[in-house]
Amino acid sequence: MVQAIRTRWQRWVNRRIPRADKQVFSQRNIFILPTGPGVVFGMLLLIMLITGINYQNSLIYLLTFMLGAILVAAMHQTHRNLAGLELTLVQAGEGFAGDRIPFRFRAVSGRHDAVAISLSCERYTLSQQHVPAGQAGDMVLSAESPRRGYFRPDRVRVETRFPFGLLKAWSWVRPASFGIVYPRPVPAPEATGTVTDGDDQDTSRSMDGNDHADMRPWREGDLTQRVLWKRYARTGQMVIADWEGEQGSPHWLDYQAFPGVDQELRVSYLTAQVLERSRTGVPFGLSLPGQEIGPDAGPAHVSRCLKSLAVFGLEKPRDDSTATFGTRGQAAGSTVAGEGV
């Protein structure tokens, strides 16, 4: 029974507050109720009124009506804090699974000050924000996603209890834009490298068409994936392959390099490898089933690879979806090539 009532209430709220990155609060979508102290205050007023009636005491009447007028004024002030406030999601955040993902909102107040505004989502709260009348201010609220993919809070609660905390006025923002949650990096085991050597000469492949690689002894700081392990097994010497005309090796980070590993662990391995390449500045490419990102380096390339890993095999939730995390399923009719190979 309680669950049915809650479901109907949520549906009613969702119809009244549709998904949008911009929300303007008015009488249509602002709710107001007494807080716990407000209920006690109202009961005391009722007791004082009954006492005044019983004893026909004018001073009790005066005090009761004065306190009642304060309560009514507080109700109007609390409602006015949100009335006319415009809240817009200007930037959906990015981060790793398990970390707090920031969402930046811009608040623009109406004709009156927006005082002691709080934003909350699940167990995270941003409280006591003040926006002067006619001005704008940015507010950053963080939310946590336990898994990779597209992410947006189902609802962000906007609330104020100013001036006396006797009443609370609140509403919600239901963002339409998604943040991106990267896979949690997991250190990858040694994988088969892209460099092979034969009996007479060592060859390699690069995206620029260079087929041959120069050999040099291993130096501290070189990646283990660049070691020619077959040569090491024969001669005991650790040799590195350097591509002709390049400062570093444009290694491919390959989804298929981890046979027998499930999809989520593979993308976590690849995420750790991307972060390692970003620290060393070594050019690299990313190979996923159905998608290839050519070798490159730099923050933009790293960001592109991380985003591809974040949404790999997932479909973007529909705008009318009420699920906070709606990206675990693969796209309809699609399969992950090479899974379990």
Which range, of 83-87, 158-162, 187-191, 253-257, averages the lowest pLDDT? 187-191
- Type of residue found at 117: I
Looking at residue 239, its pLDDT comes to 76
Token reading at 334: 């699609």
What rounded mean pLDDT belongs to the chain? 82
Looking at residue 229, its pLDDT comes to 77
Task: Give the pLDDT confidence of 125-174 residue by residue, as tens digits.
Answer: 999 999 999 999 999 999 988 899 999 998 999 999 999 999 999 999 99
Looking at residue 220, its pLDDT comes to 56
Phi-psi region of 340 (alpha: psi -120 to 50; beta: other; left: phi over 0): left
CA 151, chain centre distance (Å)? 5
Token reading at 31: 């709710």
Looking at residue 338, its pLDDT comes to 38
Strand partners, 217: 239
Predicted confidence band at 113 (pLDDT cuts at 50, 70, 90)? very high
% of the chain with per-residue pLDDT over 70 = 79
**Average pLDDT score over residue span 107-122:** 93
Looking at residue 315, its pLDDT comes to 87
Q: What is the pTM of this model?
A: 0.73
Residue found under tokens 């593979």: 266
pLDDT(246) > 70: no
Which range, of 189-203, 212-226, 314-328, averages the lowest pLDDT? 189-203
Specify whether the CB–CB gap between 195 and 156 falls below 8 A. Answer: no
Task: Give the pLDDT confidence of 279-306 residue by residue, as tens digits.
Answer: 988 888 999 998 889 888 899 999 999 9
Rounded-to-integer distance, Cα 251 and Cα 180, Å: 26
Looking at residue 320, its pLDDT comes to 56
Rounded-to-integer distance, Cα 329 and Cα 88, Å: 30
Predicted confidence band at 213 (pLDDT cuts at 50, 70, 90)? low
- Domains of the chain, by residue range, sit at 20-181, 196-310
DSSP sequence for 179-213: EEEEPPP-PPPP---S-EE-SS-EE---TTS--BE
Q: Of 328 and 261, which is predicted with more confidence? A: 261
pLDDT(227) > 60: yes
CA 72, chain centre distance (Å)? 40
